[in-house]
Amino acid sequence: MQNKLKDLQRQLIHLVDDAKLTSSEKSELQELVAVLDQEQRNFLRNRAFDYAKQQLSDNSLAPQSVLAWLEKVNKLLQVQQTSVVEDSAYFSPGDECRRAIIDFCFKAKQQLDICVFTISDDRLTEAIIAASKRGVIIRLLTDNDKKNDRGSDIHYLIEQGIDVRFDNTSYHMHHKFALADQSLLLNGSFNWTRSASDKNEENLTITSSERLLEPFQATFNNLWIKFK
C-alpha cells in the first residue's frame, strides 16, 4: 500500500497541469483514490500541503497555480457521495460497469453482500478490501471451480480477512449480484473480471426497489447458510 500511496502522490503532482493527464489517467486516478480509507486520504492530503509549501518557498510556480492545484487535490481526496445513480443501467465493453461496482462498494456503510461467479479484476478487489477496512462487513459467495484460476483474487481476499464461502457442488454458483446495506441491489451479466470490462458485451443494473431487494437478499442469506 505504501508503494501505491507513493504512486498516487506522484500522479497528484501532475494535477498542477491538467494537460499532462489524459482522460484515461484522470479516470484511473479517481478510481485509485476511491478505494482509499480516511487515514490514507489524510496522508496524501498532508503530502499535498508539504508539496505546496515547497513550491511557494522555491517560487517554482505562480502562487495562483499552486493554490488551484491544492484545491483540486483536496476536492479529489474528499469523501464524495457515490456517483452511482439508483435505478440505473450500465454496459460494457468500457469502464462504466467497473466504475459502477467500485462506487457501489464505496457507498456501502455497514454491510456488503457479494455473490459472484469469480473475481479477477484487481481494481474491484481493492474496492472490496477498502470497504472492509472502513468497517463494512463483507460476505462473499463464489464458485469453487474458479478460485484457483490464473488471476483469481479469491485467495488474496481471504488472506485480507474477507469472509468467503464456496459452492463446492458439482454445479456452478453462477450469480452476479451484490447488495449494499440491504438497501441497494447490483445485478447483471457482468463478471467481476478485466475481460468483462475490456472485451465482453455485458450489463449491470442498480436499483433500490424493495420489491427486488427482498428476494435477492433472501436468496443470498439462504445460499450463505447452504454453503457454510
3-state secondary structure the chain: CHHHHHHHHHHHHHHHCHHHCCHHHHHHHHHHHHCCCHHHHHHHHHHHHHHHHHHHHHCCCCHHHHHHHHHHHHHHHCCCCCCCCCCEEEEECCCHHHHHHHHHHHHCCCEEEEEECCECCHHHHHHHHHHHHCCCEEEEEEEHHHCCCCCCCHHHHHHCCCEEEEECCCCCCCCEEEEECCCEEEEECCCECHHHHHCCCEEEEEECCHHHHHHHHHHHHHHHHHCC
Residue for cell digits 462473499?
Answer: 140
pTM of this structure: 0.67
Query: What pLDDT is stored for residue 81 in this prediction?
Result: 45
Class of domain 88-226 as given by CATH: alpha beta
Lowest mean pLDDT among 80-89, 150-159, 169-178: 80-89
Give yes or no for a cis peptide into 93 (omega within 30° of 0). Answer: yes
In which band, very low, low, confident or very high, does the pLDDT at 59 lie, cut at 50, 70 and 90? confident
Give me the percent of the chain exceeding a pLDDT of 70. Answer: 80
Residues identified as active-site: 174, 176, 181
23, pLDDT greater than 80? no
Kindly report the length of the chain.
228
Task: Give the start-to-end residue ranges of the domains of the chain.
Answer: 2-77, 88-226
2, pLDDT greater than 70? no
What mean pLDDT is predicted for residues 44-61? 82
Q: Collect all residues with Cβ–Cβ distance below 8 Å to 167 and sequence separation of at least 6.
A: 141, 142, 143, 144, 173, 223, 227
Q: CB–CB of 122/198 below 8 Å? A: no
183, pLDDT greater than 60? yes
Average pLDDT, the chain: 84
22, pLDDT greater than 90? no
